[in-house]
Amino acid sequence: MPESFRLHVVSPSGEVLDRQVVEVTAPGLEGQFGILPRHARYMTVLGVGELHYVDADGGEGLLVVAGGFAEVSPQGVNVLAQTAEDAEQIDVARAEAALQRAEARLASPDEGTDVARAAIALARSRTRLQVAKARGIKPMRTGIKTVQMPIPGEQSGDEVPTGGPADETD
């Protein structure tokens, strides 16, 4: 078995990955960087993109990460990501909705729009969709349809909007 090291990825929502690997490639602010066994100590800021790894058994994996830090030490690689998502778990419909929201915010920003945050959301959504397309992942859902149900004792007359997906944040 080839020499390996530990890859540990966490995000604010919890542990994403803890695995013995032989290779990691991740997005830095200055471009992609690669880690192999016995790599020198290294610390960098993560950009938005794909974190690719090859595990000790030869299997490959892919995460979509955005923001945070990566630390390389003799014990392995620790990734503290603002967001990290396994490529197989990408919700295409949610990523498409996030892309549309980010594009709309950037196309006509108002005074309260955080343009930098919208640009990061745009890059993250595009990366998620590119990864999903490359992996052949189809939308998990097509939208949420709501139906107005009468409430006993109340008169119906006010219309409730139906048929659109919920506004999810990414």
Contacts of 153 (CB under 8 A, 6+ apart): none
Instruction: Give the confidence band of 87 by pLDDT, cuts at 50, 70, 90.
Output: confident
Contacts of 130 (CB under 8 A, 6+ apart): none
170: pLDDT strictly greater than 60: no
What is the count of structural domains for the chain? 2
- The β-bridge relationship of strands 76-86 and 5-11 is parallel
Query: Whole-prediction pTM value?
Result: 0.67
Looking at residue 15, its pLDDT comes to: 95
Looking at residue 145, its pLDDT comes to: 42
**Nearest C-alpha neighbor of 92 from the set 127, 66, 48:** 127
* Residue ranges making up the domain that contains 125: 90-135
Within 13 Å of residue 153, how many CA atoms lie on the same side as its CB?
Answer: 0
Of the residues 56, 88, 120, which one is the last residue of a structural domain?
Answer: 88
Answer yes or no: is 35 within a domain.
yes
Same domain? For 40 and 82 the reply is yes
Same domain? For 109 and 50 the reply is no
Answer yes or no: is 163 within a domain.
no
Instruction: Give the confidence band of 156 by pLDDT, cuts at 50, 70, 90.
Output: very low
Within 13 Å of residue 110, how many CA atoms lie on the same side as its CB?
Answer: 1
Identify which of 7-21, 53-67, 89-103, 128-142 has the greatest average pLDDT.
Answer: 7-21
Mean of the per-residue pLDDT values for the chain?
A: 78
pLDDT tens, 102-144? Answer: 787 778 778 777 777 777 777 777 777 777 777 776 665 444 4
Looking at residue 52, its pLDDT comes to: 93
